Amino acid sequence: MIPPTLKTERLSLVPLAERHFAPVRAFYASDRSSFVGGPKNADQAWRALASEAGHWALRGYGRWAVENADGEMVAMVGAWNPEGWPEREIGWDVMNGFEGQGYATEAALAARDWLYNEAGWTTAISLIADGNTGSEGVAKRVGAVEEARYTHETFGPMSIWRHPGLSS
């Protein structure tokens, strides 16, 4: 399926495309990606981007590239539910240089609205690695609460945060 384009006050959530590889590569090259499976070299980063794009084809939902008014990619935000995942997740990665401006929060709220209203979700979690305080801040701002511990065979120990449900 072709992902829809969503608009917020400052941002556009658009389908992932080839032009997003440069910021994704830079993100994965940096230690900032250490909480989400990085750092990765360019080859691995490209494959990660392709997997994100292919997630839409396999599940009917996935993550978007989040662009600002200048068309710069500021984040990758949306749904993530690969094989073996504990539950359907809303995830966010803020691209290098765009931290601290509320972009992840703004995009995650738009993504959650779409997942609840258009994709049939009624609840969602976010998995956050220990020590990723920036991501915990986003979780709190979108109303999620820390609910349980979880250990993934590849990514190790983390916390499950629960989003407000559809009717909340």
Partner 1 sequence: MIETTRLILRKPEAGDAAHVQAFFETERSQFVGGPVPPYDGWRKAAMFFGHWTIRGYGLFTVERKDTGAPIGLIGPWFPEGWADHEIGWQIWRRENEGHGFATEAASAARDWCRTTLGWTRVVSYIAEGNEASINVAKRLGAVLDPNATQPESGPCLVFAHPEAA
Q: Which residues bind partner 1 (CB under 8 A)?
A: 15-18, 21, 25, 41-43, 45-47, 49-60, 82-85, 153-154
- Structure-token pair, residue 70: 């200048």
- Smallest distance from the beta carbon of 61 to partner 1, in angstroms? 12
In the block, residue with structure tokens 């995009």:
107
Nearer to partner 1, 78 or 136 (CB): 78
- Smallest distance from the beta carbon of 143 to partner 1, in angstroms? 29
Closest CA to 76 of 124, 13, 143: 13
CB 90 within 8 A of CB 41: no
CA within 13 Å, CB half, 31: 0
- Smallest distance from the beta carbon of 1 to partner 1, in angstroms? 9
- Smallest distance from the beta carbon of 108 to partner 1, in angstroms? 21
Nearer to partner 1, 16 or 138 (CB): 16
Report how far residue 126's alpha carbon sits from residue 143's, in angstroms, rounded to the nearest whole number: 11
Nearer to partner 1, 56 or 105 (CB): 56
CB 126 within 8 A of CB 89: yes
Nearer to partner 1, 59 or 141 (CB): 59
